[in-house]
Amino acid sequence: MSRVRLAGGQEVRGLARVEGPLIAVQGVRNVAYDELVEIVAPDGRRLHGRVLEVDEEIAVIQVFEGTAGLSIPETRVRFAGRPLEIPVAAEMLGRVFNGVGTPIDGQPAPLPERWADVNGAPINPTVREYPRQYIATGISAIDGMNTLLRGQKLPIFSGNGLPHDQLAAQLARQARLGGAEAGAEERFAIVFAAMGIKNDVADFFRRSFAESGALVNVAMFLNLAADPVIERLITPRAALTLAEFLAFEKGMHVLVILTDMTNYCEALRQLSSARNEIPGRKGYPGYLYSDLASIYERTGRIRGRGGSITQVPILTMPNDDITHPVPDLTAFITEGQIVVSRDLAQEGVYPPVAVLPSLSRLMKDGIGEGLTRGDHPHVASQMYAAYAHVQDVKSLAAVIGEEELTKVDRQYLEFGQAFERQFIGQGLEEDRSIVQTLEAAWKVLSILPQDELTRLSDDELAEHYGSTEGLAYT
Amino acid sequence: MVMQIGKVSWISGPVIRATGVLDASMLEMVEVGNERMVGEIIGLHGETASIQVYEETSGLKPGAPVYGTGAPLSLELGPGLMGGIFDGVQRPLAALAAQSGSFIGRGVHAHALDRERTWPFKPAVQVGDTLRPGQVWGSVQETPLIEHRLLAPPGVSGVVTAIAAAGERTIEEHLLQVASPGAAQDLTMMQSWPVRQARPYARRLAPRTPLITGQRVIDTFFPLAKGGAAAIPGGFGAGKTVTQHQLAKWSDADVIVYIGCGERGNEITQVLEEFPALVDPRTGRPLMERTILIANTSNMPVAAREASVYTGITMAEYYRDMGYDVALMADSTSRWAEALREISGRLEEMPAEEGFPAYLPARLAAFYERAGQVVTLSGETGSLSIVGAVSPPGGDFSEPVVQHTKRFIRCFWALDKDLANARHFPSVNWLESYSEYLADVQGWWRDNRRLDWKSLQSEAMTILHREASLQQIVRLVGADALPDEERLVLEVARLLREGYLQQSALDEVDTYASAEKQFRMLQLIIEFYHRAKVVIDYHCPIFQIRQLPVITDLLRMKSRIANDRVAELDALEAEINRQIGALEKDYRP
Ligand SMILES: Nc1ncnc2c1ncn2[C@@H]1O[C@H](COP(=O)(O)OP(=O)(O)OP(=O)(O)O)[C@@H](O)[C@H]1O
Ligand SMILES: [Mg+2]
């Protein structure tokens, strides 16, 4: 990390102790909490860390790269006199960095436009602008049922082996501003942060961005599975620091993809246990909520500044358990969640989005007349209600057998099938317009008798019910 | 007096320690470092003080000075609060933005109340009058909705020796002088009050008046009384925030204090954008004119989050003391409890359940006990109602914050994940929720509005309970196996659920339902049930009932019939009678 600025701060030789990812240095003066430090290992390697705790005698330091190879007498520690900052510049688009922002693509370092503290600072709620513009992703499960708005944080909850990466990549490739403003001249950027993911996955994203020609607008921050664990606590913050610069100083619309937040949380748990903190649920620290919020809340729009930050964090739910602290606390902070379902994936549905537990909280503010289409709110609500009823019918059918179901309930089963296969299901490359998505919805809704569709208005039914136009299914 | 009392000796996040502290007291407000960040002493051991700091401590160094203020953490109370937005320690966020830009910087200071602004002061006492604590000595019109009554601070009394004439005044001007036994005292429009101390009142009253919210499931089945305390627990996305926003918008309180405690920035922005544009149905004025916002979002410093609920409730009590009905919403008390837990952890206190400190229940009790309908010191009636959201991990109500909260509230709106997933909103589960105020407010409804809810409520609830047990059978054998009388119960329960309990916050008409509309709607559904039951007893098959067009009308009346056109429900009633009457004629034995 040669790009870290270290003004000639004080230097200490020798450590008091080494414990897991932590070192303690004795006999220091004038060290600040959260200060950046450079550590020179006995073999000459330069490592970095930050001060977690300090008193008049001892500073406890978290070492990003891990403490392997550090010895008590021979390690040198130099204090930078400032918090961890990274250089930010528009030129960083098109480049690949490690987890703390040092270029690893073999090209010369971009010229910094300025340096920025990776921790950022909270946006004053009085200057925020509420998100109201929808992003057309071309994916029906999202656009139709869980519309994503510019400035929203909407995570993907998935499980190991499920196609969340494909979904996120498709979303990133296809995303464009929908509605009235569609087609306006806009500056887009993607900031991608990888925490502890496999090399293959990072490569998949890189290829996907390259194929769509978007690579020049992408900055990648990679902390891969084999990279130092503690470093990944910095990765999303470094990425968001660049995103904030691009959005709020350069007026760009930035989509931030963070994957995999579960790995991030595990790194935090590891650090917490090294500090002997009282563990909370499943060993995660009690401040996990606040820590995650310090990442997820770095999203939104600011009045008077052109740009925006939209976050799509990805996390794998251990054991597919949505009540696990990582997804649970995430959903308490984000503005909804897209849940990927193993059952649907096994039935061959792509994207296997489980609609019932998914939710976009901001959707209501970005859809309807003049935004998407007038019938959209009622259509989405009716689709949810009907699909929720399908689940009841399925459990009843499991008991009494399908033949014993009433006619209407059999129609519900048929609706459920069509909903999953034709509405939710679509091709990896298929980019549906919002009108195509809504027409697909009407097509499957029309399987049900009209008087079951209580959430739609008479006018809407008169105009759209029974329509089968508009969509060629893949 | 601000003077140095020690120096920083240890820093770890929001908690620091200072040594050399000889002259300081517990809960004293202090200023830390050269940036003079605000903090509060939360522990004293010998010459060492533990301090929670209300700002981000990055960059703070051991050796930095700590200054004492000689006073506990206190608020500025006076004209200028209404319509304002403050952080957890009452810093006005708009002023912070003017000073430090879009992002909240450190060491930024701003007075909660504007010193320059003038207010149209009107005196209410004369020279020679005797002033007692809590007495109104003047007023200013703070917003078109709120007359701000200037109260003699608790502890101040004496004979008035001077009073300013009516006119435009700033909050720092001396307006009133009283000759107290000790010395003369000058009063301004502003007073200060320690946040952690409940403000005094003359006596408590038993809450008997409903807080009318316009939300059917609440007003009809689980009402909150003015001066009562309610909890609204639910997992993520269950609808806590939307419900609290609804209450803040439509409740018939005079003053709303809304605390965003460790929640989302966008939600606060939404209130800031919506409330000035929304009009109070009773007064026709923008809602912001009666609202105070406290915003300490999830990414703002955790110690200030801990303080935010006290900041909010102290302001709420201040307006209660003027004789207003105040309703306070705290979203979410779980984030507050977690802030307590984090600070406690940094202090290395012995944890109790799930890492929460052993004093969690005591803190919750002290918070909810500040609710109440009271006779104020000046003899008026005022009330403070509290609605606290709780965010249990995994949506599991057996966790400590929900469990302890239940001990101190009397109204429990249990939000249900399954209902929310089926988009049944508000997702208040009618089997698990309760309100101990239900019986208490019935008299008020009867005497003041001539609405006798009792039999309607209990009959509707019986139908919903019967549905719940019938559903267990339906899940096993299907609805067709039930006798028609029971299938009618299911049908009416559906009318109640979809046509009555479900109420979309987004529906322009249905977002608020007047009490009269609620009452008539419920009457019609129950009347439908009674009439249909007779026909079923005549062996009319259930499908005949289910096909009646009036069912759709009953399902849609909530959004078709506006509050000012409740009389149109009479036509619907006639239609019920006509359609069922026809069946009755056919099937009468
Ligand atoms: N009364 C309502 N009418 C219509 N929609 C509602 C209502 N209540 C909740 N919703 C829907 O549910 C979503 C989630 O509600 P809300 O944000 O209030 O949840 P919450 O319980 O506060 O969640 P969290 O704990 O994560 O903050 C809303 O975005 C909205 O779509
Ligand atoms: Mg909420």
Nearest atom in ligand 1 to B420's CA: 12
B276 touching chain A per CB within 8 A: no
Radius of gyration of chain B (CA): 27
Q: Residue A210 maps to which CATH number?
A: 3.40.50.12240
Q: What is the pLDDT of residue B348?
A: 87
Shortest CA distance from A80: residue in chain B: B59
Residue A242 lies in a domain: yes
pLDDT average, residue stretch A238-260: 95
Q: What is the pLDDT of residue B282?
A: 80
Residues A313 and A381 in one domain: no
**A380 and A320, same structural domain?**
no
Do A206 and A59 lie in one domain? The reply is: no
Which of A82, A332, A409 is the best mutation test for B, with the most CBs of B within 10 A? A332
- Touching A: B residues 62-81, CB under 8 Å: 62-63
Identify all chain A residues contacting B478, using CB atoms and an 8 Å cutoff: 396, 399-400, 404-406
Cβ(B77) – ligand 1 distance below 6 Å: no
% of residues, chain B, pLDDT over 70: 100
- Confidence category of residue A404, pLDDT binned at 50, 70, 90: confident
The distance of B70 to chain A (nearest Cα, Å) reads 26
Final residue of a structural domain among A59, A83, A107: A83
Specify whether A402 is located in the same domain as A360.
no
Residue A2 falls inside a structural domain: no
pLDDT of B252: 94
Q: State the Cα–Cα distance between residues B134 and B156, nearest whole angstrom.
A: 8
The whole-angstrom separation of Cα B150 and Cα B123 is 9
B527 touches A at CB < 8 Å: no
Q: Are residues A381 and A334 in the same domain?
A: no
Segment B74-93 shows an average pLDDT of: 95
If you count residue pairs, one on A and one on B, with CB atoms under 8 Å apart, how many are there? Answer: 198
* Residue pLDDT, tens place only, B343-386: 998 888 888 988 899 999 999 999 999 999 999 999 999 999 99
- pLDDT at site B1: 63
Q: How many residues can be counted in chain B?
A: 589
Half-sphere exposure (Cβ direction) of A321: Cα atoms closer than 13 Å:
10
Mean pLDDT of A328-348: 96
Could you tell me if A181 and A324 lie in one domain? yes
Are both A21 and A92 inside the same structural domain? no
Secondary structure in 3-state letters for chain A: CCCCCCCCCCEEECCCEEECCEEEEECCCCCCCCEEEEEECCCCCEEEEEEEEEECCEEEEEECCCCCCCCCCCCEEEEEEEECEEEECHHHCCCEEECCCCECCCCCCCCCCEEEECCCCCECHHHEECCCCEEECCCHHHHCCCCEECCCECCEEECCCCCHHHHHHHHHHHCEECHHHCCCCCCEEEEEEEEEECHHHHHHHHHHHHHCCCHHHEEEEEEECCCCCHHHHCHHHHHHHHHHHHHHCCCCEEEEEEECHHHHHHHHHHHHHHCCCCECHHHCECCHHHHHHHHHCCCEEECCCCCEEEEEEEEECHHHCCCCHHHHHHHHHCCEEEEECHHHHHCCCCCCEEEEEEEECCHHHCCCCCCCCCCHHHHHHHHHHHHHHHHHHHHHHHHHCHHHCCHHHHHHHHHHHHHHHHHHCCCCCCCCCHHHHHHHHHHHHCCCCHHHCCCCCHHHHHHHCCCCCCCCCC
Residue A18 lies in a domain: yes
Please tell me the total count of domains within chain A: 3
Q: Tell which residue, A87, A114, A118, has the closest CA to residue A2.
A: A87
Q: Is the CB of A361 under 6 A from ligand 1?
A: yes
Q: Taking residues A63-89, what's their average pLDDT?
A: 91
- b/e code B441-460 from CB counts within 10 Å (16+ = b): bbebbeeeeebebeebbebb
> How far is the centre of ligand 1, averaged over its atoms, from the C-alpha of B243 (Å)?
7
What's the token pair of residue A200?
A: 């293959």
Same domain assignment for residues A103 and A178: yes
Ligand with minimal distance to A152 CA: 1
* Domain end marker among A65, A83, A101: A83
Chain A nearest C-alpha distance from B57 (Å): 7
CATH number at residue A53: 2.40.10.170
Contact B97 A151 (CB under 8 A): no
Question: Under an 8 A CB cutoff, do B299 and A128 touch?
Answer: no
Inform me whether the pLDDT recorded for A28 exceeds 90. Answer: no
Q: Over chain B, what is the mean pLDDT?
A: 93
Report yes or no on A55 lying in a domain: yes
pLDDT confidence of A81, banded at 50, 70, 90?
confident
Q: Under 8 Å CB-to-CB from A277, ≥6 apart: which residues?
A: A285, A286, B345
For residue B194, the surrounding DSSP H or E stretch is: strand B191-194
Domain end marker among A44, A67, A83: A83
Residue B35 backbone phi and psi in degrees, to 5? -80, -5
Question: What's the average model confidence in pLDDT over A319-340?
Answer: 95
Q: Do B57 and A33 touch (CB under 8 A)?
A: yes
> Do residues B201 and B358 lie in contact, with contact meaning Cβ atoms separated by under 8 Å?
no
**pLDDT score of A1 more than 60:** no
Mean pLDDT of all residues in B208-224: 96
What pLDDT digit, counting tens, does each position of A260-303 carry? 999 999 999 999 998 888 888 899 998 999 999 999 999 999 99
More confident position, A180 or A126 = A126
Cβ under 8 Å to B: A residues 82-111: 82-83
Q: How confident is the model over A85-131, as pLDDT tens digits? A: 999 999 999 999 999 899 999 999 999 999 999 999 999 999 999 99
**Measured distance between the N- and C-terminal CA atoms of chain A, rounded to whole angstroms:** 48
Q: Which ligand 1 atom is the nearest neighbour of the CA of B504?
A: 3
- Domain extent, residue A181, equals 86-365
Segment B388-412 shows an average pLDDT of: 95
Tell whether ligand 1 has an atom less than 6 A from the beta carbon of residue B86: no
A60/A130 same-domain check = no
- Is the CB of B261 inside a 6 Å radius of any atom of ligand 1? no
Q: What is the mean pLDDT of residues B281-291?
A: 89
Mean pLDDT score of chain A: 90
Domain shared by A174 and A58, yes or no: no
Give residue A436's pLDDT.
95
| Highest mean pLDDT (candidates A390-399, B255-264, B349-358) | B255-264
pLDDT tens by residue, B226-242: 999 999 999 999 999 99
User: Is the confidence at residue B438, as pLDDT, over 90?
Assistant: yes
B51 secondary structure, DSSP code: E
In the predicted structure, residue A185 carries a pLDDT above the cut 60: no
- Are A312 and A445 part of one and the same domain? no
Of residues B481 and B469, which shows the higher confidence score?
B469
Q: Which of A53, A126, A302 to mutate to test the interface with B (most CBs of B within 10 A)?
A: A126
Which residues of chain A lie closer than 8 angstroms to B102, CB-CB? 123-124, 127, 248, 302, 305
Residue A387 lies in a domain: yes
Which atom, in ligand 1's list, is nearest to the CA of A362?
29
pLDDT of residue B405: 97
Of A54, A128, A131, the CB nearest to B11: A54
Return the percentage of chain A with pLDDT > 90, whole number: 75
B544-564 per-position pLDDT tens digit: 999 999 999 999 999 999 999
Among chain A residues, the shortest Cα distance to B235 is held by A332
Do residues A247 and A353 both lie within one domain? yes
Q: Judge whether A6 lies within some domain.
A: no
How far apart CA B358 and CA B350 sit, in angstroms, is 8
Tell me, yes or no, whether A282 lies in a domain.
Answer: yes
Q: How far is B180 from chain A (nearest CA, A)?
A: 43
Q: Per the CB < 8 Å rule, is A399 touching B476?
A: yes
Question: Per-residue pLDDT averaged across B289-313, rounded?
Answer: 94
HEC readout, B360-386: HHHHHHHHHCCCEEEECCCCCEEEEEE
Residue A388 in any domain: the answer is yes
